[in-house]
Amino acid sequence: MDAVKPLSLRIAKGEWIALVGHTGSGKSSLAQLMAGLTAPSKGTVKHFGKLWNYPKDLSIDVRRRIGFLFQFPEHQFFAETVYDEVAFAAKNFELDSIEERVKKSLDIAGLSFDEFKDRSPFTLSGGEKRKVALASVIVCDPEVLILDEPSAGLDGASKKAFWDWLRSYSNSQRTVIFITHSLEEAVAAERVLVLSNGALLFADAPREVFSHVNTLRRVGLEPPISAELSYELRKRVSFPMALTVEELIRALDGDV
Amino acid sequence: MAFKDVVVIGQYIPTNSVLHRAMAETKIVMTLFFIIGAFISQSFAVLALLFGALALLIILSNVPLRFYARSAKTVFILALFTFVFNALLTGQEVLFRLGPIAFKTEGVIVGIFFGLRLFFLIFVSTVLTATTSPVDLADGLNTLLRPLEVIKVPVEEFSLIMTIALRFIPVLADEADRILKAQKARGLNLSGNVLKRIEKLVPIVIPLFVSAFMKAEDLAVAMEVRGYLPGVKRTKYKVTKLGGVDVVVFVFTAVVFVASYLLRSKWVLVW
C-alpha cells in the first residue's frame, strides 16, 4: 500500500504551512518526501525548483537548506555535551564560525549558552531537551524548516513560547511546514494541507478548510471549537466563520 | 532502503501454509537436524540434497519469494567474505592470480562450500522464523528445553528473553531507520573508508541503545504492573497438539537427515 497517494503540490518560498491528518494518514511520509529523506516510489519531487536524483545526487547543499525536526527529536541525541550535539549539523555541513552559530541557535531556542554548553543533553528536562533538538536543526539557518509534531509533549507555557518563536522565524522569509494533528494549532497557518489515508483532501487557507466541519470530522479530525460553534450558528443565523476564540467573541459582540 | 527490508531474519510472515500449521516444536527440531546435517560433512552431495529440501520448504511456506530474495543480498556479502578469506588463505596450489593476490585451488573449493553452507543456514532459519510467530517460537523452545529445568536452568525466563528479542527486531529496525534519517537531515554522510564509516555510526548507534534501554525499562514496568513474576508455574493459553502435518515433517526431516549421513563421503572435493 502507498503511504501517500498521487498528489500535486507546490510550496512557495516563505509559506507557513500546516500538514494535518489522522494517525497513519501519511503526514510524516509526505514531510519526509518534501525533505528529500525518502525517495518517491512513483513521481518526482523538486527541491528549490530542481529535480534531484535521490538519494545519490541530492546535494549536501539541499540538505543544509532544509531543516527537519523529527517527532521526539531528543531521541536522536548522542553527543556528550549540548555544544557537540548542536554543533553536529554545522560541522557536517562544514560551516564556518561554529561557536557563534551554536550560541545564536541556543539563544533563539531560549537556552543560555554558558549555562548549557557543557551539560550532557541526556540529563536535561523534557522541555530543555526539545529546545536543544530545535537548536541542533536551526544551527544551519535552514531556509525551509519542516517539523514533525513539534509541540508534542511540551507543557502549555513552553508550547506558546515555541509557537511565538516559530512565527517570528517564518516571518523572516523562511518556509515553515509543520505537522500536527491539533487543528487548533493549524489555524495560525497560511495554508492547511489535510491528508486522509494518504490522499490530499484540502490544500487551502484555514478559513476555507475549517468551513468543511463535517468532512473534517468524517476523516477523524477534531475542528477547533470556535469553528464548530460558528458552523452551527451559521446554519441558523447569518454569522461569520470564526476560527479562534477571539474571533468568535468579536463576532458575538457584533464587531464583524 | 529501510533497515527492516534488509534485516529479514526474525520476521514473521503470516500465511496459512502447511508449514505455518505445523507445531513450533516440530519446526525447531527440523531446523536443528538440517543444521546438524549441514555440519556433519563437507560433501557437496549433502549440500545439494539440503538445498533441495530447503527449496521444498520455501515453496511449502507460501511466503513470497521476494521476501527471501531481499535477504539474499546481505547474506551474499557475508558469503563473499567467507569465500575470499578461504580462497586466499587455504591450501598451497595456486589456481589463478589477480595481480599480487593468489587464489588457491583448495581455498576456492572450501570457500564455495562454506559460502553455500552459510546461505543454507541463514535461509533455513529464515523459513523457521517466517513461518512461526515469535510467541509460538518461544513457547516451542520452552517445551523443548523443559528437561533442563531438572538441572536448574531457568527455561521459562530464557524463552521470555527470546520472545522479547525476536519481537523487538522489527521495532528496533524501524527505530534505526528513523534515527538514520534524522542524522542524515543533520548532514551525516555515511560514505568514506571503513574506519571513517564506523566512526560515523556513533550518532546512530548511541541513540539506538538509549532508545532500547528506555523501551526495556518501560516494558519491565508494564510487565510488572500486569502481574508478571519470574519463576512462577504457568499454564498455556494455546495448547498445541501433534497433528498430521507434524508427523509428515518429522518423517521428512528423518529422511533428509539419514540421507545426509549416508551421502557424507560423496562429492567431498577437499577434506
Stated as kind and residue range, the H or E segment containing B98 is strand B94-98
pLDDT of residue A239: 87
User: If you ran DSSP here, which 8-state letter would residue B235 be given?
Assistant: -
Task: For residue A113, give how far its alpha carbon lies from the nearest alpha carbon of chain B (Å).
Answer: 20
Dist. CA A34–CA A9, nearest whole Å = 10
Dist. CA A151–CA A130, nearest whole Å = 9
- Which comes out higher in pLDDT, residue B251 or B161? B251
* Cβ neighbours of residue A32 closer than 8 Å, sequence gap 6 or more: A38, A68, B181
Q: Using a CB-CB distance cutoff of 8 angstroms, which residues of chain B are in contact with residue A32? A: 181
Stretches where chain A sits below pLDDT 50 are none
Share of chain B above pLDDT 70, in %: 96
B-interface mutation test, from A78, A120, A124, A134, most B Cβ less than 10 A away:
A78
Cβ distance A88 to B186 less than 8 Å, yes or no, reads yes
How many domains is chain A built from? Answer: 1
User: If you ran DSSP here, which 8-state letter would residue B17 be given?
Assistant: -
| Choice among A168-182, B15-29, B39-53 with the minimum mean pLDDT | A168-182
pLDDT of residue B7: 56
Cβ distance B189 to A93 less than 8 Å, yes or no, reads no
Q: Is the pLDDT of residue B261 over 70?
A: yes
Query: Does residue A3 lie within any of the structural domains?
Result: no
Which residues pair with residue A17 across a beta bridge?
A177, A191
Task: Give, in order, the Cα–Cα distances in Å from B48 to each of A9, A32, A131, B105.
Answer: 55, 46, 60, 21
Query: Does residue A73 lie within any of the structural domains?
Result: yes
pLDDT of residue A61: 81
Task: For residue A77, give how far its alpha carbon lies from the nearest alpha carbon of chain B (Å).
Answer: 6
Query: Does residue A253 lie within any of the structural domains?
Result: no
Task: For residue A67, give how far its alpha carbon lies from the nearest alpha carbon of chain B (Å).
Answer: 7
B-interface mutation test, from A75, A76, A85, most B Cβ less than 10 A away:
A76
Report the residue of chain A nearest B206, measured CA to CA: A78
Which residue reads 497517494 in cell numbers? A5
Dist. CA B161–CA B243, nearest whole Å = 28
pLDDT in tens, A102-136: 999 998 888 899 999 999 999 998 888 988 998 99
Out of B181, B187, B203, the one facing A64 most closely (by C-beta) is B187
Q: Is the pLDDT of residue B90 over 90?
A: no
Cβ distance A78 to B187 less than 8 Å, yes or no, reads no
pLDDT in tens, B226-244: 888 877 777 777 777 888 9
∠ CA A211-A217-A222, rounded to 5°: 85
A-interface mutation test, from B186, B200, B206, most A Cβ less than 10 A away:
B186
C-alpha cell at A241: 466563520
∠ CA A216-A218-A222, rounded to 5°: 50
Cβ distance B187 to A93 less than 8 Å, yes or no, reads yes
Query: Which range has the top average pLDDT, A186-190, A229-233, B29-33, B78-82?
Result: B29-33
Interfacial residues of A (vs B; Cβ cutoff 8 Å): 32, 35, 37-38, 60, 63-64, 66-68, 70, 73, 75-79, 88-89, 91-93, 122, 136-137, 140
DSSP for chain A reads --SS-S------TT-EEEEEESTTSSHHHHHHHHHTSS--SSS--EETTEE--TTTSS-HHHHHHEEEE-SSGGGG---SSHHHHHHHHHHHTT-S-HHHHHHHHHHHHT--HHHHTTS-GGGS-HHHHHHHHHHHHHTT--SEEEEESTTTT--HHHHHHHHHHHHHHHHTT-EEEEEES-HHHHTTSSEEEEEETTEEEEEE-HHHHTT-HHHHHHTT----HHHHHHHHHHHHS------SHHHHHHHHTT--
Q: Is the pLDDT of residue B156 over 90?
A: no
B72 and A CB contact within 8 Å: no
Domain range summary for chain B, segments of one domain joined by +: 1-154+240-271, 169-230
Query: Does residue A180 lie within any of the structural domains?
Result: yes
Q: Using a CB-CB distance cutoff of 8 angstroms, which residues of chain B are in contact with residue A93? A: 187
Cβ distance A60 to B189 less than 8 Å, yes or no, reads yes
Which residue reads 555440519 in cell numbers? B39
Q: What is the mean pLDDT of residues B85-92?
A: 85
C-alpha cell at A218: 468524517
Out of A35, A38, A89, the one facing B187 most closely (by C-beta) is A89
Q: Quick one: CA dihedral B40, B42, B44, B50, positive or negative? A: positive
pLDDT in tens, B162-194: 888 877 888 888 899 999 989 988 988 887 788
Q: Is the pLDDT of residue B4 over 70?
A: no
Range of the domain at A160: 16-205
B188 and A CB contact within 8 Å: yes
Cβ distance A75 to B181 less than 8 Å, yes or no, reads no
Average of per-residue pLDDT values in chain B: 87
pLDDT of residue B160: 84
Contacts 24+ apart (CB under 8 A), A28-32: A28/A71, A28/A148, A28/A179, A29/A3, A29/A4, A29/A198, A30/A4, A30/A193, A30/A195, A31/A68, A31/A146, A31/A148, A31/A177, A31/A179, A32/A68, A32/B181
CATH number at residue A145: 3.40.50.300
CB A140 within 8 A of CB A90: yes
| Choice among A131-135, B49-53, B146-150, B195-199 with the minimum mean pLDDT | B195-199
Which residue reads 505537522 in cell numbers? A179
Which residues pair with residue A203 across a beta bridge?
A193
B40 and A CB contact within 8 Å: no
Helices marked H in B40-64 — which ranges? 44-61
Report the residue of chain A nearest B212, measured CA to CA: A75
C-alpha cell at A13: 518560498
Report the residue of chain A nearest B211, measured CA to CA: A75
∠ CA B134-B136-B139, rounded to 5°: 110
Dist. CA B247–CA A176, nearest whole Å = 63
pLDDT of residue A57: 63
Helices marked H in B95-200 — which ranges? 105-131, 134-145, 155-185, 194-200
Cβ distance B202 to A78 less than 8 Å, yes or no, reads yes
Query: Does residue A47 lie within any of the structural domains?
Result: yes
Q: Using a CB-CB distance cutoff of 8 angstroms, which residues of chain B are in contact with residue A68? A: 181-182, 185
3-state secondary structure of B110: helix
pLDDT in tens, A88-104: 999 999 898 999 999 99
Cβ distance A76 to B183 less than 8 Å, yes or no, reads yes
Q: What is the mean pLDDT of residues B127-140?
A: 88
